[in-house]
Amino acid sequence: MNKWTTVARFTFMNKIKARSFLVTTLIIAAVLSLLINLPHIISLFSSGGGPTKIGVLGDGSDIPQKLQAYYEAQEEPKLKIVLLDNQGSKEANEAMMLEKIEAKEVKGVLELTSDPAAGFPKVIYKSKDSMNSSLPSEIRTVLQSIKSEMVVKEIGLSSAQLAKLTAPVSLDYLQLQQGSNGKSESEIAVAYMLVYVLLMLLYVGVLGFGNMVAMEITAEKSSRVMELLITSVSPLKQMFGKIVGICLLGLLQMVVFIGVGLANLAIPANRDKLKDFDLSLSGIDPMLIVYFILFYLLGYFIYSTLFAAVGSLVSRTEDIGQAIMPLTMLIVAGFMIAIFGLQNPNGSFVVAMSFVPFFTPLIMFLRIGMSDPALWEIWLAIGLTVVSIYLLSWLSAKIYRVGVLMYGKKPSFAEIRRAMKAFKV
């Protein structure tokens, strides 16, 4: 065993056969499938109940009847209007509403109160549950239509004039980009969704597999296996062999998760859901996937070298969590900046942080997906990260070579520095 490729192959095969890895991968894939299909599953369970029943307590006008007629005229109405009788007092009406809601005769009640100054009743929705996110806009739109018809009759406009008056103004959004026709609103929505998912994969992958590198080294060191391995392969080859082996493991798991996600999105029911939101998988830029793989590798290697160095300094697996905490916080900081940058990818702070090597894999990838950074910016950030990986690898290799044979208490910086001077990598 005299090559780092042998260490990488051994680490990869040993980890991929581990029951913990297989179980974790299957559980995450199952949860991912459930989350993607959850809207369809919910719709299957809720579709049998028909339209949502909403009670309407009128103010003496004919608006409740018009509201009822509107939904009865639709082929597949979202709501069913139930007209309620006024009980003569506020207390009696409140008691009647609660009785109807608790008996599940209605989901909620629209209470109309006369408002002569506005020329249209004031409307209050009352329910024991929180209001559905789509319900307010749905009811508001219909009531606005009824109000418009009432005003039209008062001033004597024709139906054609009413159609012109109520026709929505066309306003499309186009994100300008150099060398292209720009991104439409639907393409930006697809990019946002994809970037968000891939950012999560980057964050979880780099953090999880970097942590695995540290745990693997610390476990071998605490069991004294490290002393035998050092006699078979040099510390430098051993460190990079482990890093590459676990990197391949991470890439395999990412491919599985992305494959599961795409397979679930390709299901007809989910494809129809995407069409309802004017989203299409064909809007995914293939280069975004290429950049994802590139920045995943950059992020993994810049952190895994540091995780390896820290893992080599710890003698017990119980202490590894505390030892890697600063690195974990660094990754979390990069992730939080990236999440903030989703809403403002061209902000000065976000742009500046995209050139910091520890944050580049997350933030520059975000900028590529959500904006249009210049090509020189992308390659400058990549170049700075590659140089940083080289320098950190050199430093980590020296620390690793010293740390793997240091047992007992954690060595101080002075002890590490003196020991490093005694070795040449």
**What is the identity of the amino acid at 39?**
P
Instruction: List, for residues 147-159, the tens digit of each pLDDT value.
Output: 877 777 777 777 6
Over residues 255-303, the pLDDT tens digits come to 888 888 888 877 877 777 766 655 556 656 778 788 888 888 888 888 8
Numbers of helices and strands, H then E, in the chain = 17, 6
Q: What is the pLDDT of residue 261?
A: 82
Orientation angle between helical segments 235-265 and 286-313, nearest 10 degrees = 140
Predicted pLDDT of residue 381: 92
pLDDT at 425: 44
Tens digit of pLDDT for each residue in 13-31? 888 888 888 888 899 889 8
More confident residue, 304 or 60: 304
Spatial CB neighbours of 386, under 8 Å, sequence gap ≥ 6: 298
Q: For residue 1, what pLDDT is reported? A: 46
For residues 232 and 313, which has the higher predicted lDDT (pLDDT)? 313
Q: Is 390 helix (H, G, I), strand (E, B) or coil?
A: helix
Can you list the domains of the chain with their CATH numbers? 53-166 (3.40.190), 183-421 (no CATH)
- What are the residues whose beta carbons fall under 8 Å from the beta carbon of 291, sequence distance 6 or more? 365, 368, 369
Task: Report pLDDT digits (tens) over 57-109.
Answer: 877 778 888 888 888 887 777 788 888 888 778 888 888 888 888 888 888 88
List beta partners, residue 111: 57, 124
- Of the pLDDT bands very low, low, confident and very high (cuts 50, 70, 90), residue 379 is very high
